Amino acid sequence: MKIFKTLERYMEKPDAEYIASGHRACQGCAEVLALRLAFKVLGKDTILAMATGCMEIISTPLPLTCWRLPWIHIAFENTAAVASGIESAIRILTQKGKLENKKINIVGIAGDGGTSDIGFQALSGALERGHRLIYICLDNEAYMNTGIQRSSSTPYGAFTTTSPPGKKSIGQSTWKKDMPKIAAAHNIPYVATACPSYPYDLFNKVKKAKEVNGPAYLHILSVCPTGWRIPSEMAIEYGRLAVRSGVFPLYEVENGVYRITFKPESLIPVKDYIKGQGRFRHLTDKEISEIQDRVNKDWERLTKLCEITKA
């Protein structure tokens, strides 16, 4: 297999699957795809702490589990706290000689609600204390697990059941919280945004996060066909459109140095990204141009950040 040869640069066993088939994700779920690809790179020496959310309920309905890795369920609030506890315990046990000395990846996983709303203070604490863990935020831009409620990561103008559009409402009335930059503000060694539509970029970033000595934060945009109201086969394409239109730029912050990892020659109009999605279908041209202005400004700011922080 040609592709396995290529993938050997990123992972030991490209054909190993750490998420078994038979999980109950919706058709075309890019979130479980993101996890599948990320864990291919992380490999078998990995411990997972996962907050409540889509990925938890689809992977472990009680008598069954789709994980082939040690996995612990935790409440929304304390993903990062439990992950840092696991890390400290392993460090101490290794020091005392009770555990074999080898590199174990500790991964905390939560959705956008579990990261930017509810689990925020635990995450901030863990990043500040500098535990050697990888925190993955799977951003599908609302609480999809309970039936599409708004989170602070929902983009401006989007329909959710708790931000319904109408005569007096545009839908979600605030801008998306910029979690990766907040994580970068903790001065941790590695922060990156990724998207499963760009798998090699994702592999690179997970690999870097794995090798970093200290906390690493990965923010993965995972398209949700159910909640975004798009056909299931378009999940990968919409991830690509989000990146190419500049709505979700792919960048990494290594020790404070910003670098855009995928730079489209010119950004496509945001309208191309918005128009096919059912959650944005009430937006008028004027509102879309407002969003376009904001996206342009954010993109400019990011490119400037890259220039300023370059050594």
Partner 1 sequence: MAKPMEKYTWRDLNVGCVIDEPGSSLEYKTGDWRNLLPVTDYSKCTKCGLCWLFCPDNAMKPKDDGFFGPDLDYCKGCGICAQECKFAAIQMVEDKK
Nearer to partner 1 (CB atom), residue 157 or residue 199? 199
- Does 234 contact partner 1 by CB under 8 A? yes
CB of residue 161 vs partner 1: minimum separation in angstroms? 24
Helix boundaries (H) for the chain = 2-7, 30-42, 54-59, 79-95, 112, 120-129, 179-184, 199-211, 225-228, 235-244, 270-274, 285-309
- Does 67 contact partner 1 by CB under 8 A? yes
- Does 111 contact partner 1 by CB under 8 A? no
Judged by DSSP in three states, 127 sits in: helix
End-to-end CA distance of the chain: 41
Cα(250)–Cα(306) distance, integer angstroms = 12
Q: How many CA atoms lie within 13 A of 278 on its CB side?
A: 13
Cα(311)–Cα(107) distance, integer angstroms = 30
Nearer to partner 1 (CB atom), residue 237 or residue 298? 237
- Does 29 contact partner 1 by CB under 8 A? yes
Cα(228)–Cα(26) distance, integer angstroms = 13
Q: Segment near partner 1 (CB under 8 A), from 27-35, 115-123, 127-135, 173-181?
A: 27-35
Cα–Cα distances (Å) from 163 to 33, 116, 124, 158, 173, in that order, read 28, 18, 27, 8, 8
- Does 244 contact partner 1 by CB under 8 A? no
Of 75, 104, 236, 302, which lies in the binding site for partner 1, with binding defined by CB under 8 A? 236
The DSSP output letter for 234 is G
- Does 233 contact partner 1 by CB under 8 A? yes
Nearer to partner 1 (CB atom), residue 231 or residue 278? 231
Of 63, 101, 103, 266, which lies in the binding site for partner 1, with binding defined by CB under 8 A? 63
- Does 229 contact partner 1 by CB under 8 A? no
Q: Which of residues 167-196 bind partner 1 (CB under 8 A)?
A: 196
Nearer to partner 1 (CB atom), residue 22 or residue 166? 22
CB of residue 76 vs partner 1: minimum separation in angstroms? 18
Of 41, 66, 122, 274, which lies in the binding site for partner 1, with binding defined by CB under 8 A? 66
Q: How many CA atoms lie within 13 A of 53 on its CB side?
A: 31
- Burial label for 110, CB within 10 Å (0-12, 13-18, 19+), is buried
- Torsion angle, alpha carbons of 29, 34, 37, 43, to 10: -120
Nearer to partner 1 (CB atom), residue 133 or residue 223? 223
For partner 1 (CB under 8 A), the number of binding residues is: 42
- Does 278 contact partner 1 by CB under 8 A? no
Q: Which residues contact 149 (CB under 8 A, 6 or more apart)?
A: 142, 143, 160, 161, 162
- Does 64 contact partner 1 by CB under 8 A? yes
CB of residue 120 vs partner 1: minimum separation in angstroms? 28
- Does 311 contact partner 1 by CB under 8 A? no
- Does 235 contact partner 1 by CB under 8 A? yes
The DSSP output letter for 155 is P
Contact residues toward partner 1 (CB under 8 A) are 1-4, 15, 17, 19-25, 27-30, 32-33, 36-37, 59-69, 196, 199, 225, 231-237
